[in-house]
Amino acid sequence: MTGAGNWTWLIEGRVPTLVDAGTGDPRHVDAVAGALRGGALSQVLVTHGHIDHASGAAVLAQHMPHARFLKMAWPERDALYPVMWHPLADNDILEAGDTSLLALHTPGHSPDHVCFWHEETRSLFGGDLLQRGGTVWIPGNQYGDMSAYIASLERMLALEPARVFPAHGPVIDEPMRLLRNYIDHRREREEQVIDALRQGDATPHAMTMRIYKGLNEVLVPLARESVAAHLRKLERDGRARREGDAWHIMDP
Ligand SMILES: [Zn+2]
Protein backbone atom coordinates (compact mmCIF):
# COMPACT_ATOMS: atom_id res chain seq x y z
CA MET A 1 0.00 0.00 0.00
CA THR A 2 2.91 2.39 0.42
CA GLY A 3 4.46 1.58 -2.95
CA ALA A 4 8.20 2.20 -2.79
CA GLY A 5 7.94 3.63 0.73
CA ASN A 6 7.16 7.12 1.87
CA TRP A 7 8.82 10.50 2.05
CA THR A 8 9.35 12.78 4.95
CA TRP A 9 10.45 16.36 4.21
CA LEU A 10 13.05 18.25 6.20
CA ILE A 11 12.84 22.05 6.18
CA GLU A 12 16.10 23.53 7.38
CA GLY A 13 16.55 26.98 8.94
CA ARG A 14 15.79 28.69 12.21
CA VAL A 15 13.00 26.22 13.08
CA PRO A 16 14.19 22.88 11.69
CA THR A 17 11.01 21.04 10.82
CA LEU A 18 10.27 17.55 9.64
CA VAL A 19 7.03 16.88 7.77
CA ASP A 20 5.86 13.39 8.77
CA ALA A 21 7.53 11.08 11.25
CA GLY A 22 8.13 7.97 9.14
CA THR A 23 8.11 4.57 10.78
CA GLY A 24 11.11 4.71 13.11
CA ASP A 25 13.42 2.90 10.70
CA PRO A 26 16.94 3.56 12.09
CA ARG A 27 18.16 4.45 8.57
CA HIS A 28 15.58 7.22 8.43
CA VAL A 29 16.46 8.56 11.89
CA ASP A 30 20.17 8.53 10.94
CA ALA A 31 19.45 10.30 7.66
CA VAL A 32 17.51 13.06 9.44
CA ALA A 33 20.26 13.45 12.06
CA GLY A 34 22.88 13.59 9.29
CA ALA A 35 20.96 16.25 7.38
CA LEU A 36 20.74 18.35 10.56
CA ARG A 37 24.56 18.17 10.93
CA GLY A 38 24.42 18.20 14.71
CA GLY A 39 21.59 20.74 14.91
CA ALA A 40 18.44 20.05 16.91
CA LEU A 41 15.15 19.25 15.25
CA SER A 42 12.49 21.69 16.52
CA GLN A 43 9.31 19.99 15.42
CA VAL A 44 7.64 17.22 13.50
CA LEU A 45 4.44 18.09 11.63
CA VAL A 46 2.46 14.93 10.95
CA THR A 47 0.01 14.91 8.04
CA HIS A 48 -2.18 12.13 9.48
CA GLY A 49 -2.29 9.19 11.85
CA HIS A 50 -1.68 6.27 9.45
CA ILE A 51 1.28 4.17 10.55
CA ASP A 52 3.62 5.06 7.69
CA HIS A 53 3.35 8.75 8.65
CA ALA A 54 3.08 8.72 12.45
CA SER A 55 4.45 5.50 13.91
CA GLY A 56 8.05 6.75 13.92
CA ALA A 57 7.20 9.52 16.39
CA ALA A 58 8.33 7.67 19.53
CA VAL A 59 11.69 6.64 18.04
CA LEU A 60 12.29 10.17 16.74
CA ALA A 61 11.41 11.56 20.19
CA GLN A 62 14.14 9.39 21.75
CA HIS A 63 16.76 10.65 19.31
CA MET A 64 15.52 14.24 18.98
CA PRO A 65 14.61 15.25 22.54
CA HIS A 66 13.92 18.91 21.63
CA ALA A 67 11.35 18.12 18.97
CA ARG A 68 7.67 18.91 19.46
CA PHE A 69 5.14 16.70 17.68
CA LEU A 70 2.12 18.28 16.08
CA LYS A 71 -0.89 16.82 14.29
CA MET A 72 -4.62 17.20 14.13
CA ALA A 73 -6.16 15.15 16.92
CA TRP A 74 -7.51 11.66 16.20
CA PRO A 75 -7.55 10.40 19.80
CA GLU A 76 -8.00 6.63 19.25
CA ARG A 77 -5.25 6.58 16.66
CA ASP A 78 -2.86 9.05 18.34
CA ALA A 79 -2.79 6.90 21.49
CA LEU A 80 -0.94 4.25 19.45
CA TYR A 81 2.06 6.58 19.11
CA PRO A 82 3.28 7.48 22.61
CA VAL A 83 4.57 11.02 22.33
CA MET A 84 3.06 14.27 23.59
CA TRP A 85 0.96 15.42 20.63
CA HIS A 86 0.27 19.13 20.25
CA PRO A 87 -3.06 19.51 18.46
CA LEU A 88 -3.19 21.29 15.10
CA ALA A 89 -6.29 23.11 13.92
CA ASP A 90 -7.37 24.17 10.45
CA ASN A 91 -5.66 27.42 9.38
CA ASP A 92 -2.97 27.29 12.07
CA ILE A 93 0.09 29.25 11.00
CA LEU A 94 3.30 27.43 11.90
CA GLU A 95 6.85 28.71 11.85
CA ALA A 96 8.96 26.24 9.88
CA GLY A 97 12.54 26.64 8.67
CA ASP A 98 12.96 30.37 7.99
CA THR A 99 9.40 30.80 6.86
CA SER A 100 5.88 29.77 7.83
CA LEU A 101 3.37 27.16 6.76
CA LEU A 102 -0.40 27.12 6.93
CA ALA A 103 -2.07 23.93 8.19
CA LEU A 104 -5.11 22.97 6.11
CA HIS A 105 -7.50 20.30 7.32
CA THR A 106 -8.10 18.03 4.32
CA PRO A 107 -10.09 15.03 5.57
CA GLY A 108 -11.27 12.13 3.41
CA HIS A 109 -8.37 9.69 3.23
CA SER A 110 -8.41 9.90 7.04
CA PRO A 111 -10.38 12.17 9.37
CA ASP A 112 -7.28 13.95 10.70
CA HIS A 113 -5.52 14.61 7.39
CA VAL A 114 -3.70 17.95 7.13
CA CYS A 115 -1.74 19.50 4.26
CA PHE A 116 0.83 22.24 4.84
CA TRP A 117 0.80 25.23 2.47
CA HIS A 118 3.71 27.53 1.70
CA GLU A 119 2.16 30.61 0.13
CA GLU A 120 5.37 32.29 -1.15
CA THR A 121 6.30 29.36 -3.37
CA ARG A 122 2.73 28.04 -3.79
CA SER A 123 4.01 24.69 -2.57
CA LEU A 124 1.91 22.16 -0.73
CA PHE A 125 3.11 19.34 1.48
CA GLY A 126 0.32 17.03 0.46
CA GLY A 127 0.61 13.93 2.66
CA ASP A 128 -1.70 11.31 1.20
CA LEU A 129 -4.02 13.74 -0.59
CA LEU A 130 -2.67 12.78 -4.00
CA GLN A 131 0.19 10.97 -5.66
CA ARG A 132 1.45 10.60 -9.19
CA GLY A 133 0.74 7.36 -11.01
CA GLY A 134 -2.24 6.21 -9.00
CA THR A 135 -5.20 7.20 -6.93
CA VAL A 136 -5.53 7.55 -3.18
CA TRP A 137 -7.41 4.92 -1.25
CA ILE A 138 -10.51 6.11 0.61
CA PRO A 139 -11.34 3.36 3.13
CA GLY A 140 -15.13 3.63 3.45
CA ASN A 141 -15.34 1.33 6.46
CA GLN A 142 -12.22 2.63 8.18
CA TYR A 143 -12.92 6.33 8.72
CA GLY A 144 -12.49 7.28 5.06
CA ASP A 145 -15.01 9.79 3.73
CA MET A 146 -15.52 10.32 0.00
CA SER A 147 -17.59 13.52 0.31
CA ALA A 148 -14.93 15.05 2.52
CA TYR A 149 -12.16 13.85 0.20
CA ILE A 150 -13.68 15.48 -2.89
CA ALA A 151 -14.23 18.70 -0.91
CA SER A 152 -10.56 18.57 0.18
CA LEU A 153 -9.40 18.12 -3.43
CA GLU A 154 -11.53 21.09 -4.48
CA ARG A 155 -10.20 23.21 -1.63
CA MET A 156 -6.58 22.46 -2.64
CA LEU A 157 -7.41 23.13 -6.31
CA ALA A 158 -8.68 26.59 -5.33
CA LEU A 159 -5.24 27.40 -3.85
CA GLU A 160 -3.71 26.98 -7.33
CA PRO A 161 -0.61 25.17 -6.08
CA ALA A 162 2.48 25.17 -8.30
CA ARG A 163 4.02 22.10 -6.72
CA VAL A 164 3.05 19.34 -4.32
CA PHE A 165 5.47 17.40 -2.16
CA PRO A 166 3.59 14.14 -1.59
CA ALA A 167 4.24 11.43 0.97
CA HIS A 168 4.43 8.79 -1.77
CA GLY A 169 5.89 8.97 -5.28
CA PRO A 170 7.63 11.77 -7.16
CA VAL A 171 7.17 15.51 -6.63
CA ILE A 172 4.06 16.71 -8.47
CA ASP A 173 4.91 19.61 -10.80
CA GLU A 174 1.48 19.93 -12.38
CA PRO A 175 -0.79 19.55 -9.39
CA MET A 176 -3.72 21.44 -10.93
CA ARG A 177 -3.99 18.88 -13.70
CA LEU A 178 -3.68 15.97 -11.29
CA LEU A 179 -6.25 17.45 -8.89
CA ARG A 180 -8.71 17.89 -11.76
CA ASN A 181 -8.03 14.33 -12.93
CA TYR A 182 -8.67 13.05 -9.43
CA ILE A 183 -11.96 14.91 -9.14
CA ASP A 184 -13.05 13.66 -12.60
CA HIS A 185 -12.01 10.12 -11.71
CA ARG A 186 -14.16 10.16 -8.54
CA ARG A 187 -17.13 11.52 -10.48
CA GLU A 188 -16.75 8.73 -13.06
CA ARG A 189 -16.48 6.12 -10.31
CA GLU A 190 -19.59 7.52 -8.68
CA GLU A 191 -21.46 7.20 -11.98
CA GLN A 192 -20.32 3.58 -12.19
CA VAL A 193 -21.64 2.90 -8.69
CA ILE A 194 -24.97 4.53 -9.59
CA ASP A 195 -25.09 2.44 -12.75
CA ALA A 196 -24.39 -0.75 -10.75
CA LEU A 197 -27.22 0.14 -8.35
CA ARG A 198 -29.56 0.64 -11.32
CA GLN A 199 -28.55 -2.77 -12.66
CA GLY A 200 -29.69 -4.23 -9.33
CA ASP A 201 -26.41 -4.80 -7.54
CA ALA A 202 -27.21 -4.47 -3.84
CA THR A 203 -23.91 -5.08 -2.09
CA PRO A 204 -20.52 -3.37 -2.28
CA HIS A 205 -19.07 -6.73 -3.25
CA ALA A 206 -21.37 -7.20 -6.26
CA MET A 207 -20.68 -3.63 -7.39
CA THR A 208 -16.94 -4.12 -6.98
CA MET A 209 -17.03 -7.24 -9.16
CA ARG A 210 -18.92 -5.32 -11.85
CA ILE A 211 -16.88 -2.12 -11.77
CA TYR A 212 -13.40 -3.56 -11.24
CA LYS A 213 -13.60 -6.45 -13.72
CA GLY A 214 -10.50 -8.65 -13.69
CA LEU A 215 -9.08 -7.06 -10.54
CA ASN A 216 -6.44 -9.09 -8.73
CA GLU A 217 -8.18 -11.01 -5.91
CA VAL A 218 -5.83 -9.54 -3.32
CA LEU A 219 -7.03 -6.04 -4.18
CA VAL A 220 -10.78 -6.81 -4.06
CA PRO A 221 -11.20 -5.93 -0.35
CA LEU A 222 -9.54 -2.55 -0.96
CA ALA A 223 -11.77 -1.82 -3.95
CA ARG A 224 -14.81 -2.83 -1.87
CA GLU A 225 -13.87 -0.22 0.75
CA SER A 226 -13.68 2.39 -1.97
CA VAL A 227 -17.13 1.40 -3.30
CA ALA A 228 -18.46 1.57 0.28
CA ALA A 229 -17.07 5.11 0.54
CA HIS A 230 -18.93 6.09 -2.64
CA LEU A 231 -22.15 4.50 -1.33
CA ARG A 232 -21.92 6.49 1.90
CA LYS A 233 -21.51 9.65 -0.13
CA LEU A 234 -24.53 8.77 -2.29
CA GLU A 235 -26.53 8.05 0.87
CA ARG A 236 -25.60 11.48 2.23
CA ASP A 237 -26.47 13.08 -1.11
CA GLY A 238 -29.92 11.41 -0.97
CA ARG A 239 -29.22 9.28 -4.04
CA ALA A 240 -28.94 5.82 -2.41
CA ARG A 241 -30.34 4.18 0.67
CA ARG A 242 -29.52 1.10 2.65
CA GLU A 243 -31.89 -1.53 4.07
CA GLY A 244 -29.95 -3.98 6.18
CA ASP A 245 -27.09 -5.04 3.93
CA ALA A 246 -28.81 -4.14 0.69
CA TRP A 247 -28.32 -0.86 -1.15
CA HIS A 248 -30.88 0.71 -3.48
CA ILE A 249 -30.85 3.61 -5.87
CA MET A 250 -33.18 6.52 -5.11
CA ASP A 251 -34.08 7.81 -8.52
CA PRO A 252 -36.15 10.98 -8.65
ZN1 LIG B 1 -2.45 7.35 4.71
Instruction: Give me the count of residues in the chain.
Output: 252
Distance in Å, CA 136 to ligand 1 centroid: 8
Distance in Å, CA 242 to ligand 1 centroid: 28
Those residues whose C-beta lies under 8 Å from the C-beta of residue 223, and which sit 6 or more positions away, are: 208, 211, 212, 215
Residues with CB under 5 A from ligand 1 (ion): 50, 128
Distance in Å, CA 110 to ligand 1 centroid: 7
Does residue 52 carry a catalytic annotation?
A: yes
The C-alpha angle with vertex 86 and arms to 118 and 175, in degrees rounded to 5, equals: 25
Distance in Å, CA 50 to ligand 1 centroid: 5
Q: What is the pLDDT of residue 1?
A: 52
Kindly report the backbone phi and psi dihedral angles of residue 23, in degrees, each rounded to the nearest multiple of 5, phi listed first. -115, 5
| pLDDT digits 0-9 by tens, 29-82 | 999 999 999 999 999 999 999 999 999 999 999 999 999 999 999 999 999 999
**Average of per-residue pLDDT across 159-180:** 97
The model carries a pTM of: 0.93
Q: Is the pLDDT of residue 176 over 70?
A: yes
Distance in Å, CA 41 to ligand 1 centroid: 24
Distance in Å, CA 218 to ligand 1 centroid: 19
Question: Active site residue: 20, 25, 30, 52, which one?
Answer: 52
Kindly report the backbone phi and psi dihedral angles of residue 19, in degrees, each rounded to the nearest multiple of 5, phi listed first. -95, 115
How far apart, in whole angstroms, are the C-alpha atoms of residue 211 and residue 153?
23
| pLDDT digits 0-9 by tens, 179-189 | 999 999 999 99
DSSP per residue over 67-83, as a string?
A: -EEEE---HHHHTTS-S
CB-based contact 234:193 (threshold 8 Å): yes
